[in-house]
Structure 1
Amino acid sequence: MQNKLPLYIFLSLIVLILLAVTSLYMGVYEFEKHSFLEIFVALWNDDNSIPASDKFVLVNLRLPRIVMAILVGSALAVSGTCLQGMFKNPLASPDLIGITMGASLFAAISIVLGSYIKPYIPEFFHFSMLSIAAFIGALLTMTMVYRISTTNGKTNVIVMLLSGVAITAMAGATTGFLIYLSKEEQLRDLTFWNLGSLGGASWTKNGILAVIILFAFSILITKGKALNAMMLGERDAQHLGIPVEKIKKRIVVLTALMVGTCVAFSGTIGFVGLIVPYILRLLFKSNYHIILPMSAIFGSILLLSADTISRTIAAPSEIPIGILTAFMGAPIFIVILIRSKKSL
């Protein structure tokens, strides 16, 4: 099966490309009758064969949003896959163990109290303060959950989930208090983070996301064999020459970095890190050598599909994408709980 990995990746990429092209033409605004090839050639040559309005919608609205869906979906799916491999449990995902909510809380603090914090930090960090705050929140939450639920290298799944519930509850309560204190403009921003949306996509944000995700993927995607060994037990993995603690630390930091950045730019989008690894395990069992790279593509496909539905199903209104992913993920979470109840 591992020999067929390039074929699986190629076929999945074809599906993703076709979905992206289809998504370009879906929405309230309708392009004039131009094929995708004609539009691409016109944009490449910078000629006037297509209307300026078509160019604006395509280049400034649709394409950035599609690219952000691909990047965020990929990052969340890989984060969930790595966490499930590290904790050796299918219930571990960024949103269920509190990482997403922790990042959202610090993003909310940055939104509401940012004007009071900015005078005390260098001006260079003012533009990226929201992203930095979300990353710090994700990192602190991830570290807290890991230390609470892990003893002598073994993770207690019940403690992990309960600590995630407790952190989510505390972060939710604090966010609610910040909403109470917020002004009208801050309230709109907080609503955006809590429900999740890709409506604020831009090429600048996509550039930052791409750099962070490519850096994290360059380290995480190659850890499939190490995670396979860790599934046998950490001691056995160490006997095989796997630097278990080093890999754990990298997963904690890079997962927090990706989730924090995604929350900063797209708000709270849950269950992607749960749905994708679960589907891939049904197809490829628990072979992380295959699941890790495939999750990067399947996460993009899932979130791009959800975003396309969110902006077309109730046009001209837009359903927050976090609501759709929750509708998709909650039944799968229940199925996983039912299948895992004996071990819990």
Structure 2
Amino acid sequence: MTIMFTKCAFGLSLALLLSIVVAIGLGPAAVPPQDTLRYLGAALTGGTIALDEVPVYEIIWQLRTPRVLLAAVVGAGLAAVGVGVQALVRNALADPFVLGISSGASVGAVTVLVTGVVVGVYAVSLGAFLGALTAAALVHLVARTASPLRLVLTGIALAYAFQAAMALLVYLVPQGESTATVLYWTLGGFGAATWGALPVVAVLVVAGLVVLRRWAGDLDLLALGDETAVSSGLDVRALRTRLFLLTSLMTGAMVAVSGAIGFVGLIVPHLVRMVTGAVHGRVLVLAPLVGAVLAVWVDLLARTVVAPRELPLGVVTALVGVPVFLVLLRRRAYVFGSTR
């Protein structure tokens, strides 16, 4: 198992690097891989390029590279948060948005879009992040305890409330452009990626991945049930509270820059467990890599299938995720948290 795990990790890392290079080069104006690498090298080392290559270079470095890197970061983060949330609520159907954080972020972003209460380049992202934190605070306050059932029910109830609030905002401010922007944003996408926004979310996601990996042993105990975990000396309530806060912060940061992207955090943990088993130390290494590769390719499909128009990312993830998840459900050998 250890040798297979090492090979999987190495293979996925290589696949991610190749996927990033290919995705940066492909688009309405395709660029060969060798030229893509040359432009990236020039940008990173301060090299020179010919004057007639500047427009293509700008497309590669200023537009596609931050977008593809953001897709990889968000995909990795969503997959890892999916693992964490499924352990938090011990529910195979849980994903990063089951606790209402995504809906709260959507309300914050829509408020900015339709009212213009905040101005600036990152106004929508700021509104989404504040909305996500507000939603997390409300869920934690209303739930009062970190029991799995109470968290899920509270999150679902508040998600409906946030969705109603978002619909009301759009209805009261009937502007065609704003409505279209709201619809696109709530379905997710990386079209607004910039070099300015990338470092913040990358730092938060990487830090969250490190913390989740350090908690892997505790998550294994948590998956065995509260009684077993408590008898092993684990403070279950404190762990659930920390896990809830961490996953909420990571989800808020990702939704703030990409909108709500479904299915990545739901199906990736299941796919990885089929290979590695239920040990979180292994799942939390492979799941971010699989999520990153998946997000990069899904984003590439979204911006090339109907080019020059662009599909909302949530549409593509649903078209990919629903069949995969249904196949998983039909596999009698698969049980959540196991590979029996």
> What is aligned with 1:27?
27
Distance 1:99 1:45, change over 3 A: closer
> What is aligned with 1:47?
48
> What is aligned with 1:106?
108
Distance 1:187 1:228, change over 3 A: same
Shift of residue 303 of structure 1?
A: 0.8
Matched-pair identity in %? 29
Q: Which of 281, 284, 289 is the equivalent residue of 2:276?
A: 284
Residue 226 of structure 2 corresponds to residue 234 of structure 1: yes
TM-score in terms of structure 1 length = 0.84
C-alpha contact (below 8 Å) 1:106/1:136 kept by paired residues: no
Written as runs of structure 1 = structure 2, the 5 A alignment for 1:84-99 is 84-99=86-101
Residue 171 of structure 2 corresponds to residue 174 of structure 1: no
> What is aligned with 2:132?
135
Shift of residue 131 of structure 1?
A: 4.4
* Bigger RCO (CA 8 Å, 6+ sep): 1
SS in 2 for 1:78: helix
C-alpha contact (below 8 Å) 1:111/1:130 kept by paired residues: no
1:111-167 C-alpha deviation (Å, 9 max, x unpaired): 33452xx69xxx9x979732442332441365368658x6xx5x34xx766655443
> What is aligned with 1:311?
303
> What is aligned with 1:79?
81
- CA–CA separation in structure 2 for the residues paired with 1:142 and 1:106: 16
> 2:62 is aligned with what amino acid?
N
- CA–CA separation in structure 1 for the residues paired with 2:141 and 2:277: 30
- CA–CA separation in structure 2 for the residues paired with 1:162 and 1:236: 24
C-alpha contact (below 8 Å) 1:197/1:266 kept by paired residues: yes
Shift of residue 94 of structure 1?
A: 2.0
Q: Which moved more, 1:76-85 or 1:321-330?
A: 321-330
- CA–CA separation in structure 2 for the residues paired with 1:51 and 1:171: 47
Q: Which moved more, 1:91-100 or 1:77-86?
A: 91-100
Distance 1:127 1:281, change over 3 A: closer
> 1:22 is aligned with what amino acid?
V
Distance 1:331 1:142, change over 3 A: farther
Distance 1:285 1:108, change over 3 A: same
> 2:202 is aligned with what amino acid?
A
The gaps in structure 1 that reach 5 residues or longer are: none
> 1:221 is aligned with what amino acid?
R
Q: Which moved more, 1:106-115 or 1:278-287?
A: 106-115
Written as runs of structure 1 = structure 2, the 5 A alignment for 1:247-262 is 247-262=239-254
Count of aligned positions: 330
> 1:326 is aligned with what amino acid?
A
> 1:130 is aligned with what amino acid?
G
- CA–CA separation in structure 1 for the residues paired with 2:19 and 2:160: 37
- CA–CA separation in structure 1 for the residues paired with 2:257 and 2:33: 33
C-alpha contact (below 8 Å) 1:90/1:336 kept by paired residues: no
Shift of residue 287 of structure 1?
A: 1.5
Please report the RMSD computed on the Cα atoms of aligned residues, expressed in angstroms: 3.1
